[in-house]
Amino acid sequence: MTGTARPDTPTSATEPLRRTAGRVLQGAAVLAASQIASRAIGMVFTLTLAHLLSIEDFGTYNLALSAIVIAGMAQDLGLSRSVVKEVARARAEAAEWVGRLAPLKLGLGVIAALLLPGAAALAGYGPGVVGILAIVALLLPAANLWLLLENAGQGLHAIRLLATGYLANTLLQSGLGLVAALATGGDLRVVAAALVVASLLNTALMWRLLTGVAGPVRLRLDLAFCRRVLGQSLPYLGVALATVALGRLEPLLLGRLANESEVARFIAAFKLFEAALFIIYSAQIAMNATVARLIQHDRAGFGRWFGWELSLAAALLLPALVFGLLAAGPLIGLLFPAAYAAAAAPLAVLLATLPVTALQALAAGALMLTDRQGAVLLLNALVVTAQLALNLLLIPGHGALGAALAVAGSQALAALAGIALAGHWLLPGWRALRPLGRVLLVQAVAAAAGLAARAVAGELVGVAVALLLLIAGCGAIRLRLLPPD
Q: Which residues of 454-480 are buried (b: 16+ CB within 10 A; e: fewer)?
A: beeeeeeebbebbeebbeebbeebebe
Q: Report the C-alpha gap between 116 and 94 in whole angstroms.
A: 31
CA dihedral 400, 401, 402, 403 (to 10 degrees): 50
Note the residue count of the chain. Answer: 485
Using alpha carbons, select from 214, 104, 207, 199 the residue that is nearest to residue 155.
Answer: 214
Q: Which residues of 207-220 are buried (b: 16+ CB within 10 A; e: fewer)?
A: bebbeebbbebeee
Helix segments in 315-372, DSSP class H: 317-335, 344-367
Q: Report the C-alpha gap between 302 and 232 in whole angstroms.
A: 28
The residue among 184, 211, 245 that closes a domain is: 245
For residues 177 and 195, is the Cβ–Cβ distance under 8 A? yes
Q: Inform me whether the pLDDT recorded for 190 exceeds 80.
A: yes
How many other CB atoms are there within 10 angstroms of residue 374's CB atom?
10
More confident residue, 39 or 331: 331
Same domain as 121, residue 42 = yes
For residues 223 and 163, is the Cβ–Cβ distance under 8 A? no
Q: What is residue 273's predicted lDDT score, i.e. its pLDDT?
A: 93
Name the DSSP class of 433.
G
Angle at the Cα of 403 (from 399 to 409), degrees rounded to 5? 140
369: pLDDT confidence band, cut at 50, 70 and 90? confident
32: pLDDT confidence band, cut at 50, 70 and 90? confident
Q: Report the C-alpha gap between 51 and 46 in whole angstroms.
A: 9
More confident residue, 244 or 204: 204
What would the pLDDT profile of 213-261 be if each residue is shown by its tens digit? 999 999 998 888 888 888 877 766 766 677 778 889 999 999 999 999 9
Same domain as 92, residue 191 = yes
Q: Report the C-alpha gap between 152 and 167 in whole angstroms.
A: 17
Q: What is residue 10's predicted lDDT score, i.e. its pLDDT?
A: 47
473: pLDDT confidence band, cut at 50, 70 and 90? confident
Query: Which structural domain range is residue 63 located in?
Result: 25-245
27: pLDDT confidence band, cut at 50, 70 and 90? low
Do the domain assignments include residue 13?
A: no
Do the domain assignments include residue 184?
A: yes
Range of weakest confidence among 4-13, 39-48, 66-75, 353-362: 4-13
Range of weakest confidence among 13-27, 195-209, 347-361, 403-417: 13-27
Q: What is residue 211's predicted lDDT score, i.e. its pLDDT?
A: 94
Same domain as 289, residue 222 = no
Same domain as 225, residue 96 = yes
Same domain as 281, residue 162 = no
Same domain as 406, residue 294 = yes
What would the pLDDT profile of 63-114 be if each residue is shown by its tens digit? 999 999 998 888 888 788 788 888 888 888 899 999 999 999 999 999 999 9
Q: Inform me whether the pLDDT recorded for 13 exceeds 60.
A: no
> What is the mean predicted confidence (pLDDT) over 397-411?
96
Q: Inform me whether the pLDDT recorded for 14 exceeds 50.
A: no
Q: Which residues of 299-325 are buried (b: 16+ CB within 10 A; e: fewer)?
A: eebbbbbbbbbbbbbbbbbbbbbbebb
Counting DSSP H helices and E strands in the chain, the numbers are 18, 0
State how far Cα 87 lies from the chain centre. Answer: 23
Q: What is residue 25's predicted lDDT score, i.e. its pLDDT?
A: 56
More confident residue, 399 or 475: 399
Do the domain assignments include residue 6?
A: no
> What is the mean predicted confidence (pLDDT) over 268-288?
83
> What is the mean predicted confidence (pLDDT) over 346-373?
88
In the chain, the amino acid numbered 314 is A
Same domain as 312, residue 219 = no
> What is the mean predicted confidence (pLDDT) over 123-128?
93
Same domain as 269, residue 217 = no
More confident residue, 368 or 46: 46
Do the domain assignments include residue 417?
A: yes
The residue among 245, 277, 300 that closes a domain is: 245
For residues 154 and 84, is the Cβ–Cβ distance under 8 A? yes
Q: Report the C-alpha gap between 345 and 27 in whole angstroms.
A: 40
> What is the mean predicted confidence (pLDDT) over 107-122?
94
Q: Inform me whether the pLDDT recorded for 289 exceeds 80.
A: no
Average pLDDT over the chain reads 87
What would the pLDDT profile of 290-326 be if each residue is shown by its tens digit? 888 888 888 888 889 899 999 999 999 999 999 999 9
Show Cβ contacts of residue 170 under 8 Å, excluding neighbours closer than 6 positions.
37, 38, 39, 41, 42, 45
Radius of gyration for the chain, computed over Cα atoms and rounded to the nearest angstrom: 23
Do the domain assignments include residue 371?
A: yes
Name the DSSP class of 339.
G
> What is the mean predicted confidence (pLDDT) over 438-458?
89
pTM over 0.75: yes
Do the domain assignments include residue 121?
A: yes
Q: What is residue 238's predicted lDDT score, i.e. its pLDDT?
A: 66
State how far Cα 451 lies from the chain centre. Answer: 34
The residue among 245, 280, 315 that closes a domain is: 245
Q: What is residue 337's predicted lDDT score, i.e. its pLDDT?
A: 96
Q: Inform me whether the pLDDT recorded for 156 exceeds 60.
A: yes
Same domain as 264, residue 241 = no
335: pLDDT confidence band, cut at 50, 70 and 90? very high
2: pLDDT confidence band, cut at 50, 70 and 90? very low
Show Cβ contacts of residue 16 under 8 Å, excluding neighbours closer than 6 positions.
none
Q: What is residue 121's predicted lDDT score, i.e. its pLDDT?
A: 95
Same domain as 64, residue 186 = yes
Same domain as 240, residue 278 = no
Q: What is residue 373's predicted lDDT score, i.e. its pLDDT?
A: 67
Do the domain assignments include residue 224?
A: yes
Do the domain assignments include residue 376?
A: yes
Q: What's the total number of domains in the chain?
A: 2
For residues 267 and 336, is the Cβ–Cβ distance under 8 A? no
Q: Which residues of 82-91 are buried (b: 16+ CB within 10 A; e: fewer)?
A: bbbebbeeeb
Same domain as 335, residue 233 = no
